Amino acid sequence: MITTELSNIGDIIHNQRDFFQTGKTKDVTFRIEQLKNLKQAIIEHEQSIVEALQADLHKPEVETYITEISVVKDIDYAIKHLQNWTKPKKAAVSWDFFSYSAKIYPEPLGVVLIIGPWNYPFQLIISPLIGAIAAGNCAIIKPSEIASHTSNVIAKIIAKYFDPAYIAVVEGGVEVSQKLLAEKFEHIFFTGGRAVGKIIMTAAAKYLTPVTLELGGKSPCIIDTEINLEHTVRRILWGKFINAGQTCIAPDYLLVNQKIKKDLIDGLQNSLKEFYGDNPANSPDYARIISEKHFDRLVNFLKDGEVIIGGETQSSERYIAPTVIDNVSLEDSVMQEEIFGPILPIIEYTDIAEAIALINSRPKPLALYLFSQNKNLQKRVLQETSSGGVCINDTVMQVGVSSLPFGGVGDSGMGNYHGKASFDTFSHYKSVLQNSFWLDLKWRYAPYQGKLPLIKKLLG
């Protein structure tokens, strides 16, 4: 890994401020060219990206393409819509402003900071970068040092295709992050955990810097009786065990109707064997835990409840089998924090009110999943719960829809991105009001004597 000299960080930011002041990034043609450059860079270095993610997470190539490299479709989406996004939009004015016209102009913020996580270390850097470029900003990128191979690939790609005065990658550990956070930015975009999110907000407060925090939480998955069991099982297992469960919107725990619990468990057992064979440790399609620290944290969770599927571990390989646990208590450690690994607790309910009450007793999750064909039940869950997003009869796929804003609420984050929402996140919408000279009524000017009745009539 290339570590950036701490003394150089201030110079990088200064150079980006100078570049931004040239006005070059405000040119829509320039932005489109840079988005095309980014797409080309990803396409040309696809194999390097695959190899880096294999080294960091043992990530299968198919998963890498689906969850990391497919971010190029978001580039295409931005290119297609950018001309429209950047146009000033007319705003309506009331009759008492009949001589005025109003417009709203999107304008870039300036120099922004993007701090990425280790679980999807490529996609979760590039996706917000697309929005920053589309909105006309300069950007400094800080990839996760934990996924060091991917961080290094990102640094090489960006350095090859972009002027560091426009987009720069800063690599390194905690000390680099601390140095960056001591600087002033026009926006900070962070993806990661809640504890570090608080550190980001504290640092941003010094300069009143706006932040976007994409955090996480314990995303519940409700399973009703009115389902296609085979489809339900496959979709849950895929969403839970891609990337060995290290996904911020993975189903964190199942809330299963008691009547269908046994059938569901049988289905989970059968489909897991279909996915990964008799021994998932030998499967080429199953990832590994990112580090020894995270491996040890997850192994601790296996002490809770009763392991009914999986549970095998290999510390030398940082391998934890796809695991399902039953008979967990809400007080168990596995139910107290986001799991972020291949462990799936099951909690049964007899009435949907119980499941809703449990969800509402906890911090608001980043995602909520519901498997049910019952329209009334769907409506009730949507109305009676709050979460960053909801996906009905599937898992994780909501993140791939460019037209849907993605983000958390409450403890699971603030702000959102993807598609137009990314452009909005990295833009300031400037209100512009313009009057004409063809008429100038004197009702608002001094002297005021005798004008109050008219003013009350006009403005009342």
Is 443 a domain residue?
no
pLDDT digits (tens, 9 = 90+) for 342-351: 999 999 999 9
Evaluate if residue 95 carries a pLDDT over 90: no
Q: Which of 68, 183, 186, 214 does the annotation list as catalytic?
A: 214
Q: Give residue 78's pLDDT.
A: 98
DSSP symbol at 147: S
Q: Which of 28-32, 95-99, 118-122 has the lowest mean pLDDT?
A: 95-99
Average pLDDT over residues 412-434: 97
Domain range spanning residue 66? 6-215+411-432
Amino acid at 245: G
Task: Give me the helices (H) in 58-172, please.
Answer: 61-67, 72-86, 123-134, 148-161
Active site residue 248: yes
Indicate if 235 and 146 belong to the same structural domain: no
**Ordered DSSP codes for 274-294:** HHH-S-GGG-TT----S-HHH
DSSP symbol at 215: -
Is 444 a domain residue?
no
Q: Which of 63, 68, 138, 248 does the annotation list as catalytic?
A: 248
Could you give the 3-state DSSP secondary structure of residue 250? coil
Active site residue 221: no
Q: Give residue 460's pLDDT.
A: 76
237 CB-near residues (< 8 Å, 6+ apart):
268, 271, 272, 275, 322
Instruction: Give the Cα separation of 460 and 445 in Å (integer).
Output: 18
Q: How many CB atoms lie within 10 A of CB 129?
A: 28
Residues in the chain: 460
Indicate if 77 and 101 belong to the same structural domain: yes
Instruction: Give the Cα separation of 170 and 41 in Å (integer).
Output: 18
Is 447 a domain residue?
no
Average pLDDT over residues 95-101: 91
CATH number assigned to the domain comprising residue 234: 3.40.309.10
Is 456 a domain residue?
no
Instruction: Give the Cα separation of 172 and 146 in Å (integer).
Output: 9
Indicate if 237 and 138 belong to the same structural domain: no
384 CB-near residues (< 8 Å, 6+ apart):
356, 360
Instruction: Please state the domain count of the chain.
Output: 2
Average pLDDT over residues 429-440: 95
Evaluate if residue 373 carries a pLDDT over 60: yes
Q: Give residue 459's pLDDT.
A: 84
Indicate if 285 and 327 belong to the same structural domain: yes
Query: What pTM was computed for the model?
Result: 0.95
Evaluate if residue 1 carries a pLDDT over 50: no
CA nearest 239: which of 314, 344, 325, 146? 344
Indicate if 71 and 89 belong to the same structural domain: yes
Using CA atoms in the order 41, 46, 50, 55, what is the torsion angle rounded to 10 degrees?
-50
CA dihedral for 172, 175, 181, 182, sign (positive or negative): negative
Indicate if 165 and 202 belong to the same structural domain: yes
Evaluate if residue 5 carries a pLDDT over 80: no
In contact, 199 and 180? CB cutoff 8 Å:
no
Confidence of residue 2 (pLDDT cuts 50, 70, 90): very low
Indicate if 208 and 248 belong to the same structural domain: no
In contact, 164 and 155? CB cutoff 8 Å:
no
Indicate if 175 and 256 belong to the same structural domain: no
pLDDT digits (tens, 9 = 90+) for 275-309: 999 999 999 999 999 999 999 999 999 999 999 99
DSSP symbol at 154: H
Is 299 a domain residue?
yes
Percent of the chain past pLDDT 70, that is, above it, reads 99
CA nearest 389: which of 361, 371, 369? 369
Average pLDDT over residues 159-166: 97
Instruction: Give the Cα separation of 427 and 175 in Å (integer).
Output: 29
CA nearest 138: which of 113, 106, 156, 117? 113
Indicate if 241 and 157 belong to the same structural domain: no
Q: Give residue 369's pLDDT.
A: 98
Query: How does strand 100-108 pair with strand 427-435?
Result: antiparallel
What Å distances lie between residue 164 and 9, 18, 22, 169, CA to CA?
11, 12, 15, 8
CA nearest 137: which of 24, 216, 37, 59? 24
Structure-block tokens of residue 24: 């070059």
Indicate if 80 and 192 belong to the same structural domain: yes
Is 453 a domain residue?
no
Could you give the 3-state DSSP secondary structure of residue 305? coil
3 CB-near residues (< 8 Å, 6+ apart):
171, 172, 173, 176
Please, what is the average pLDDT of the chain? 96
Q: Give residue 441's pLDDT.
A: 87
CA dihedral for 448, 453, 456, 457, sign (positive or negative): negative
Indicate if 15 and 134 belong to the same structural domain: yes
Evaluate if residue 4 carries a pLDDT over 70: no
Place of tokens 């002033």: 184
Is 133 a domain residue?
yes
Confidence of residue 160 (pLDDT cuts 50, 70, 90): very high
Q: Give residue 96's pLDDT.
A: 85
CA 68 to chain centroid, in Å, comes to: 13
